[in-house]
């Protein structure tokens, strides 16, 4: 196995750069998945026949080389995955390339995919990356291979794996989850139970009771994420996929759920002062984990990426046990649970131009990492999506051994590894003016949090500005 660097050749072809610029344009008109015609590259039509021709092969005897792009350091997990894969498939050489999961890094990947060079298998982080690639014909349709191998995506991974018109362009091998971490000692001292479900009012009540001290000695009840777009998370508990857009295709910021969410953040930080201020988080360039493990708050909003902080007792020494609760919803009696459970995030795909034994080798690696090897995916902080993955082994990989003194493992399994429920509130396929909406959402929310606009005015301006950008893009 070798580590590969990007070649400059693929980045200098004028027609390729022009195409990719169109792929990444946030002003491009998008069509609903059910009616979107996916443009297949030359050679795609023969892939079903190729799959039939390779069916008789013993895949463990394949002699082939593939290039795999991921966003992690090679020694953080990919090297071990490949080594384990090669125990079963010794003839398939997997060369690893680390790319940066930014707009620039993804454009470089799209450039190579279009040219059909330097990348065979790759990770898509979120449907906002996978969906446009499928629409542009950069990704191989997997239907022929799934049919040939009797591979049922729903059976293997559960409901809501992303597809376009019933066709799959990636295996959903990794998930994430959003939740609340809590200081169990602080809960016990306040006489509070670890909540199994709760709404915003209960969460606020907990935060009030867990707040103490003043000035430099103040311990806040809770801390929100240091990413301003997180203010909208409570709204997602009530909304379906593509929550930023309404049924007419315009922005959804006038939905009552967003008003509740932004008012809630403003009240927690500026009125009640029981949530660590966003302004201080950004000024100090710290995360909620820093605040929580420094005993400056007793609860914090977290994602599954928190595991590297939970097990790092050298950097974050502590005496208390960290426990876990689901993300609070607006109303426990009526909300859809759009934030409860895990949501698909890491999709593994192959390039549309692969054929023959190279395509077969790519498929065997994808399928292995998505099933037999999926538990190992936990090493990069992503929750394995395979329904049959060993949760005890996942905990061991994510948190290490003998962690029970510091982590409520049962609550971790129940909340963080809740693969029985799928959070659909962050499933994004509509990307119309997406980048512009992201900027507008951030700017207007910050004005409200900083007291420069009322919540109502910020949401009204957010709606108007976003609608204008969407109309320009249509």
Quick one: CA dihedral 128, 133, 139, 141, positive or negative?
A: positive
How far apart, in Å, are the Cα atoms of 148 and each of 52, 331, 463?
Answer: 7, 45, 47
Q: What is the pLDDT of residue 354?
A: 96
pLDDT tens-digit map of 31-88: 333 333 344 443 445 555 555 555 657 889 999 999 999 999 999 999 999 999 999 9
Spatial separation of the C-alpha atoms in residues 26 and 43, rounded to whole Å: 29
Tell me if 442 sits within 8 A of 229, measured CB to CB.
Answer: yes
Contact between 327 and 225 under an 8 Å Cβ cutoff? The reply is: no
How many residues does the structure list for the chain?
A: 474
pLDDT at 324: 98
In terms of C-beta density within 10 A (0-12 exposed, 13-18 middle, 19 or more buried), how is residue 209 classed? middle
For the residues of 30-83, what is the DSSP string, one character each?
Answer: ---TTT--PPPPTTGGGHHHHHHHHTTS-GGG--EEEEEEESS-GGGTHHHHHH
Q: What is the pLDDT of residues 236-278, one digit of tens each?
A: 999 888 999 999 999 999 999 999 999 999 999 999 999 999 9
- pLDDT 10s digits, 99-111: 999 999 999 999 9
Residue 23 is predicted with a pLDDT of 42
In whole angstroms, give the CA distance from residue 474 to residue 472: 6
pLDDT of residue 92: 98
Collapsing DSSP to helix, strand or coil, 234 comes out as: helix
**Other Cβ atoms closer than 10 A to 300:** 27
pLDDT value for 50: 56
SS3 174: strand
Angstrom distance (rounded) from CA 415 to CA 409: 10
For 8-46, b/e burial (b = at least 16 CB within 10 A) is eebeeeeebbebbeebeebebebeebeeeebeebeebee
Which stretches of the chain drop beneath a pLDDT of 50?
A: 2-44
pLDDT tens sequence across 426-444: 678 888 999 899 999 999 9
């Amino acid at each position: 196995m070798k580590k590969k660097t990007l070649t400059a050749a693929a980045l200098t072809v004028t027609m390729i750069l022009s195409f990719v610029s169109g792929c990444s344009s946030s002003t491009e008109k998008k069509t609903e998945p059910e009616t979107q015609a996916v443009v297949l590259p030359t050679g795609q039509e023969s892939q079903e026949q190729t799959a039939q021709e390779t069916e008789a092969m013993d895949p463990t005897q394949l002699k082939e080389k593939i290039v795999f792009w991921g966003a992690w350091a090679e020694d953080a997990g990919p090297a071990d995955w490949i080594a384990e894969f090669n125990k079963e498939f010794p003839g398939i050489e997997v060369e690893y390339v680390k790319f940066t999961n930014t707009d620039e890094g993804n454009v470089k990947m799209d450039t190579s995919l279009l040219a059909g060079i330097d990348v065979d298998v790759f990770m898509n982080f979120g449907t906002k990356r996978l969906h446009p690639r499928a629409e542009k014909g950069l990704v191989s349709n997997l239907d022929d291979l799934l049919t040939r191998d009797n591979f049922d995506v729903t059976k293997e991974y559960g409901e809501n794996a992303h597809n376009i018109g019933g066709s799959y362009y990636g295996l959903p091998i990794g998930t994430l989850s959003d939740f609340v971490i809590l200081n169990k000692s602080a809960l016990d001292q306040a006489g509070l139970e670890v909540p199994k479900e709760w709404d915003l009012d209960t969460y606020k009540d907990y935060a009030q009771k867990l707040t103490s001290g003043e000035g430099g000695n103040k311990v806040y009840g809770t801390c929100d994420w240091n990413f301003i777009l997180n203010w909208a998370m409570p709204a997602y508990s009530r909304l379906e996929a593509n929550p930023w857009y309404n049924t007419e295709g315009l922005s959804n910021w006038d939905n009552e759920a967003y008003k509740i969410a932004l008012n809630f953040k403003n009240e927690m930080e500026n009125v009640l002062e029981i949530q660590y201020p966003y302004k201080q988080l950004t000024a100090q360039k710290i995360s909620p984990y820093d605040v929580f493990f420094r005993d400056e708050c007793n609860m914090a909003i977290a994602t599954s990426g928190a595991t590297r902080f939970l097990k790092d007792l050298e950097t974050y020494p502590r005496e208390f046990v960290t426990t876990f609760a689901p993300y609070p919803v607006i109303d426990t009696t009526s909300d859809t649970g759009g934030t409860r459970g895990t949501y698909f995030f890491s999709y593994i795909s192959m390039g549309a131009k692969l054929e023959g034994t190279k395509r077969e080798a790519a498929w065997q690696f994808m399928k292995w990492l998505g099933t037999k090897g999926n538990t190992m995916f936990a090493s990069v902080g992503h929750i394995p999506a395979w329904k049959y993955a060993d949760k005890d082994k996942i905990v061991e990989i994510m948190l290490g051994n003998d962690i029970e003194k510091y982590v409520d493992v049962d609550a971790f399994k129940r909340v963080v590894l809740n693969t029985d429920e799928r959070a659909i509130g962050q499933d994004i396929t509509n990307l119309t003016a997406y980048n512009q909406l992201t900027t507008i959402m951030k700017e207007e929310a910050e004005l409200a949090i900083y007291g420069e606009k009322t919540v109502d005015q910020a949401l009204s301006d957010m709606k108007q500005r976003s609608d204008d950008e969407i109309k320009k893009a249509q």
